[in-house]
Structure 1
Amino acid sequence: MEWLHELFRKSPEMAIFLSLAVGYAIGKIKFGKFQLGGVAGSLLVAVLVSQVGVEIDSGIKAVLFALFIFAVGFESGPQFFSSLGRQSIKEIVLAAVMAVTGLVTVVVMAKLFALDKGLAAGVAAGGLTQSAIIGTAGDAIAKLGLSAEETARLQGNVAVGYAVTYVFGSFGAILVCVNLLPRLMGRSLRDDAVAAEAAMLAGAQVLGPDQQEAAPSLVGRIYELTDDPRRSIRDIENANPATTITIERVKRNGKLIEPSPELVLLRGDIVLVVGRREAVVTDAPLLGREVFAVEGMELTMLKREVVLTNRRFDKQTVAQIRADTASGVRHGIFVVQLSRMDAVLPMQPDTVVHLGDVVSIYGAEQDVKRVATIIGDTIVPSAKTDFVYLGAGIVVGLLIGLLSVKLGSIPLTLGSGGGALLSGLLFGWYRARKQTLGALPPGAVQLLKDLGLAGFVVVVGLQSGLQAVETVRQLGLTIFGVGVVVTIVPMVLTMLFGRYVLRYSNSAIFAGALSGSRSANPAFGEVLDKAGNAIPTVPFAITYALANVFLTLLGPLIVALV
């Protein structure tokens, strides 16, 4: 294997991408109903690759994780802040239960297997994947008044216990959250994520890439007038106040003519009618017979999202806006959706709109452009990322992560991960309010999440895999076995508590909360992948922030109790 070692020494980045490629290939293999998943597969492959000796700079791991956790927060910022309140009590309790069960499990296992304070704290740090325990436990050991040699030995054992148990700490959390929890709930993460998203969107249909409605709500049809209506286009369009159709094209005697509101239609005219399906089906056939493929009747329609900035419409109901807006302004425009902070609003007459709401309008291009300037600022679709906004957000997050507050002698900090998550939530929330600022397309967010998490996990495996295997060889499987128990038991007990006491009913939301309460980032990444949307992110963000505090406090408590 010397040639592999030399190859990875010259190009260590090759080891990262090799682990990703092979890991994701293995993750796709199904063993009955069990599927490892790309993140867990990449972690295992990285541990194997590490055995030939690979040196990876820790800065790569920090960068990848910052990208991942910021993107997660950015995507879920609007929903996170709207969900805070009494409804977050379950997440607070869940995070506390995880910390308490983790502490009890570590202390009991340390007593049973005669682990010293250092090994016990290291097992907690690795088995619960909370690296901050290393620091708080090491600081507590230094304050015990022991000899310099004994202090150094115990602090070294913290690192040993951490190295042996961290890999399964990450892997075991994936098994519980992605495989065991859905079986307990009796439903898949994907099904419950879709159901929760549908409820959040107030019943609005969400189409995925390359999906189209078989019966779209807005349609266009061509009719030849078989009677002589002798009515203007305005009269025909306003004949039925309950429904709306617009006449966008008129062809008379083989020539196209301008469809002005005052134009009087005659028998034999061919018209293009656009409107909501129910209106077109009900009213348009009264004009005459439907015809097809008439030259010159083609019309390109446009859909645009516009941020409401016109104070004239602020705090007005949909009905009031419609009544106060001249028919000439409304002509040819259909409002297909209203949303606020990425949450869809019901299109009811009594729905009140506010500045900053996003109005989705549909119509002919010239009509959409005309009305968009009246409503506010048009959101122009773009595949480009605003790197000014992205870079500033991550910098702010890393600065927040450097802040530290002492609880007695214990320093508490969000760390770079917690800081980047909080910054992502704030920047995502602000972007939802000012949607003409800080573009980060969904595809870019997904890439940051996938590459950031998988790359982070691979670097962890490459850095700690060799040391973990060597330590197991030296100390036997006892430490590793204790780490397995510390990883699995608190998660299972917390999962049962959440299911039967806290009454979590949605598996996607529950999996997000459970992975966050253990600071289990790889598990959360797999949960997101299985869910297929961002539903698990909000509960994860709450419990993850709490876990960074609760689990960090375990270091000195373990040193005191073991």
Structure 2
Amino acid sequence: MSWIGELLRAHPEIALFLALSIGYAVGQIKFGPIQLGGICGTLIAALFIGQLGVTLPSSVKNVFFMLFIFALGYAGGPQFFANLNAKGLRIGLLCLIEVVVVLALVLAATRFMGLDQGTAAGLMAGAATESAVVGTATDAISKLALPPDQIKQLQANVVTAYSITYIFGLITIVVVTSQVFPLILRINLREEADKLWKAMGGSADDESATPAVPEMVGRVYTITAGAGLPVRNVTAHLRFNGSVQGLMRHGQPIAFSPGTPLEADDHLLVVGHRKAVLEWAHANADLGHEMEDASEFDVVLDTADVVFNHPAAGTMTLRGLHLGSAPGVPAPLPEGVLVADIERGGQRLPLLPELKLERGDRLKLYGRAEDIAMALPRIGESVMKSTRSNIALASAGIVLGVWIGLYSVKLGGIPFSLGTGGGALLSGLVFGWYQAKHPSRLSVPHDALNLLKDLGLSTFIACVGLASGPSAMELIMKYGISLPLMGVAIAVIPATVSLFVGRYLLKFEAPVLLGAIAGQQCSTPALSAIQAVAGNTTPLLGYTITYAISNVVLPLMGPLIVALAGLVRAH
């Protein structure tokens, strides 16, 4: 082993990528609904490799953390600001519960267990399953007026405590949200989710449907018994999930409107979501028969992404977007324009008629180019499609964030600073919000943001894990089983408080509430487990709101817990 240690110490970049490789491989292993993920896997691998005394320059972890935290704010900014309304703040109370209860529990543990500032911050990050707290807390510790060796030890304790409590916190929140909480509420989660699905206009078959590829299809039918019926009869049965895109009569295309009557031997081109088109064809088989040859139709359909930013956001439903008859709502979409997909906070939402559209939702429109051109200005602004990143914008945002983080204020006599991490997070939020308001301008593409977040955080975690390796065992031996138990408690208690407040005070539907609790913990594995039990995607309606808020608020707690833990220890 000596030659391996010498090689890694001489070339620490090998150790870095070795930790990333092993960590992401370990993180992909599933234990039932539990999956550690690449970040936790990387940390564990780095702690083991770090036993060989491998370290990297601190500038490496600082640069990659800046990239991560800015990308986190940039990606979450649109959704965060979109939820600063009555509905978003109402469900956002669960995030307030999360922050207050977690802070209180960590400070109580600091007082009675004698935790240092690093261990307290790591306990909070791990139990709340929010990896970004590791970065903001580590950055805050680096600015303490302490000897370098002590600062290094405290930063190592952040990482070690996080790695221990994250595993137990993750397992706990997955199990309690998907299995224990439905028992406490005395409900059948699948039945509750089914009721909510149908109340929002979904059919019984929709909830278990698996989208086929391609999702949007076109089929041609020869009209027989359907002669005399108007075209609108066809579109009404498709429930906004399909449309008539072409009509041929005697071999010639003809212009048509919803009231145009069909004639015998007309050829009809029906386009829409695969499931809707198939169901319509099955239910209306007596109207005509499907044709194998569709070459006579020379119809080209286009797609466009648009950010929904109409003043009716929060009250407008998907059904209303197609009808558009109420005052203050957008004009109805043209007959031939379909909503093929809706994303909110990076999550695909179910296309239910009563789904309420929020400001910042990203809609994919499908139809003829001229119809889409009419629809776009009615609901929002088209998203610029580009694979190029606006590096100038991202770099300026990071510079501004670092500058903000240099300043500090005193809160109750306690010096408090956002740090460079918190500053970059805030600048990312504002820049991301501005970009969402002007989506037709060059930005940082979604896939590039995901790469920045994954690579930035995993590299930062690997760097601090390698540096913390030699001292990790000391903390484990010092606290033993008490840290894992605290991780479980800090995961369960705020979630339980949110459960009762959300159910009996705020009156949330059970699927939405459980999804919101997963979101307040920033736990995607918990959401997946809840959706598996629910049988549909209704928990997403709560998750997207609390996830967007917690993903911003919890990282800002890193500097605060460091300051408060120091004050508690001093007394």
Aligned to 1:297: 297
Do structure 1's residue 131 and structure 2's residue 127 form an aligned pair? no
How far apart are residue 412 of structure 1 and its match? 0.6
SS of 1:224's equivalent in the other structure is strand
Residue 142 of structure 1 corresponds to: none
State the shift of 1:225 in Å.
4.7
SS in 1 for 2:52: coil
| Partner residue in 1 for 2:39 | 39
Q: Is the 8 A contact 1:70 1:421 kept in 2?
A: yes
2: CA distance, partners of 1:394 / 1:400: 10
1:491 maps to what in 2?
Answer: 487
Q: Structure 2: which amino acid aligns with 1:171? A: S
| Residue equivalent to 1:183 | 175
Q: Equivalences for 1:458-473 in 2 at 5 Å?
A: 458-466=462-470, 468=471
Summarize the alignment of residues 328-347 of structure 1 with structure 2, pairs less than 5 Å apart. 330=334, 332-335=336-339
2:269 is matched with: 272
- Residue 11 of structure 1 and its aligned partner are, at CA, apart by 3.5
The answer as to whether partners of 2:405 and 2:423 remain within 8 angstroms in 1 is yes
Is the Cα contact below 8 Å between 2:401 and 2:423 reproduced in 1? yes
Q: Deviations over 1:419-440 (max 9, x none)?
A: 2322333333333333223544
Per-residue deviation, residues 48-72 of structure 1 (Å, max 9, x unmatched) = 3233333312122122222223333
Once residues 298 and 70 of structure 2 are traced to their aligned partners in structure 1, the CA distance between those partners, rounded to angstroms, is 45
Q: C-alpha deviations, 1:399-449, integer Å up to 9, x for none?
A: 332231123653211112222322333333333333223544443233222
Q: 1:382 to 1:93 in 2, by over 3 A?
A: same
Q: Deviations over 1:346-371 (max 9, x none)?
A: 9869x999998766432234543465
1:8–1:15 Cα contact (<8 Å) kept: yes
Provide the C-alpha distance between the structure 1 equivalents of 2:35 and 2:236, rounded to a whole number of angstroms: 53
Match of 2:477 among 469, 475, 481: 481
Stretch of structure 1 that moved more, 293-302 or 10-19? 293-302
Taking a change above 3 Å as real, the CA distance of residues 377 and 103 of structure 1, as seen in their structure-2 partners, is: closer
Distance 1:270-1:415 versus aligned 2 partners, 3 A rule: same
Distance 1:59 1:202, change over 3 A: farther
SS at match of 1:250: strand
Q: SS state of the match for residue 85, structure 1?
A: helix
Maintained 8 Å contact 1:99/1:550 = yes
Match of 1:417 in 2: 421
For the residues of structure 2 that align with 1:51 and 1:354, how far apart are their CA atoms? 49
Matched-pair contact (CA < 8 Å) for 1:247–1:274: yes
State the TM-score, normalized to the length of structure 2: 0.68
CA shift for structure 1 position 29: 4.5
Question: Deviations for 1:256-294, whole angstroms, at most 9, x for unmatched residues?
Answer: 534234999875554434467499649976764432224
1:369-421 CA-to-partner distances (Å, cap 9, x unmatched) read 46547776433544443334433333333333223112365321111222232
Residue of structure 1 equivalent to 2:396: 392
1:105 lines up with 2:104 in the alignment: no
Report the RMSD for the aligned CA atoms in angstroms: 5.2
Normalized against structure 1, the TM-score is what? 0.69
Deviation at 1:212, TM superposition (A): 2.8
The residue number in structure 2 matching 1:212 is 211
Question: How much does 1:308 deviate?
Answer: 6.8
Residue 237 (structure 1) aligns with: 231
| Alpha-carbon shift at residue 170 of structure 1 (Å) | 1.9
Alignment of 1:49-198 (within 5 A): 49-81=49-81, 82=83, 85-110=89-114, 120-121=116-117, 123-124=119-120, 130-131=137-138, 134=141, 138=145, 155=147, 158-159=150-151, 161-162=153-154, 165-187=157-179
Q: 1:203 to 1:437 in 2, by over 3 A?
A: farther
Distance 2:387 2:451 in 1: 13
Conserved 8 A contact 1:181-1:507: no
Are residues 410 and 527 of structure 1, via their aligned partners in 2, closer, same or farther at CA, if it must alter by over 3 Å? farther
Question: Residue 148 of structure 1 corresponds to which residue in structure 2?
Answer: none
Please name the residue that 1:257 is paired with: 252
Give the structure 2 partner of residue 248 of structure 1.
Answer: 246
Q: Which runs of 5+ in 1 are unaligned?
A: 111-118, 140-154, 516-523
Q: CA deviation at 1:171?
A: 0.6
* Per-residue CA distance 1:98-134 (angstroms, 9 max, x = gap): 3343334334344xxxxxxxx9456546666533674
Give the fraction of aligned pairs with identical amino acids, expressed as a percent.
Answer: 28
- Cα offset, 1:92, TM superposition: 3.2
Structure 2 contact 303–366 (Cα < 8 Å) conserved: yes
Describe the shift of the 1:549–1:345 C-alpha distance in structure 2 as closer, same or farther (beyond 3 A). Answer: same
Instruction: Write the letter of the residue equivalent to 2:431.
Output: F
- Equivalent residue number for residue 15 of structure 1: 15
> 1:156/1:508 Cα in 2 relative to 1: closer, same or farther (>3 Å)?
farther
Question: More displaced, 168-177 or 506-515?
Answer: 506-515
Question: What is the distance in 2 between the residues matched to 1:239 and 1:424?
Answer: 49
Shift in alpha-carbon separation, 1:25–1:388, aligned structure 2, 3 A: same
Q: How does 1:314-333 map to 2 (within 5 A)?
A: 318=321, 321=324, 330=334, 332-333=336-337
> How many angstroms apart in 2 are the aligned matches of 1:132 and 1:356?
32
Does structure 2 conserve the Cα–Cα contact (< 8 Å) formed by 1:23 and 1:42? Answer: yes
Report if aligned partners of 1:390, 1:438 keep a CA contact under 8 Å in 2: no
Pick closer, same or farther for the CA change 1:526–1:74 going to 2, 3 Å.
Answer: farther
Measure, in 2, the Cα distance between the counterparts of 1:39 and 1:424. Answer: 21
Q: Which amino acid aligns with 2:173?
A: L
- In the aligned structure 1, how far is the partner of 2:527 from the partner of 2:56? 27
In structure 2, the partner of 1:113 is: none
* Separation of aligned partners in 2, 1:499 and 1:421: 25
Looking at structure 2, the residues matched to 342 and 384 of structure 1 have their Cα atoms a distance apart, in angstroms, of: 19
1: CA distance between counterparts of 2:37 and 2:226?
Answer: 67
Native 8 Å contact 1:123 1:161 kept in 2: no
Say whether residues 1:407 and 2:411 are aligned partners.
Answer: yes
CA distance in 2, matches of 1:34, 1:219: 36
Q: How many residues align?
A: 500
Alpha-carbon distance, 1:509 to partner? 4.7
Per-residue deviation, residues 124-180 of structure 1 (Å, max 9, x unmatched): 4666653367468647xxxxxxxxxxxxxxx57744752663342121121122123
Describe the SS at the equivalent of 1:405. Answer: strand
Greater Rg over alpha carbons, structure: 1
Of 331-340 and 376-385, deviating more is 331-340
CA distance in 2, matches of 1:320, 1:329: 7
Letter in 2 for 1:553: L
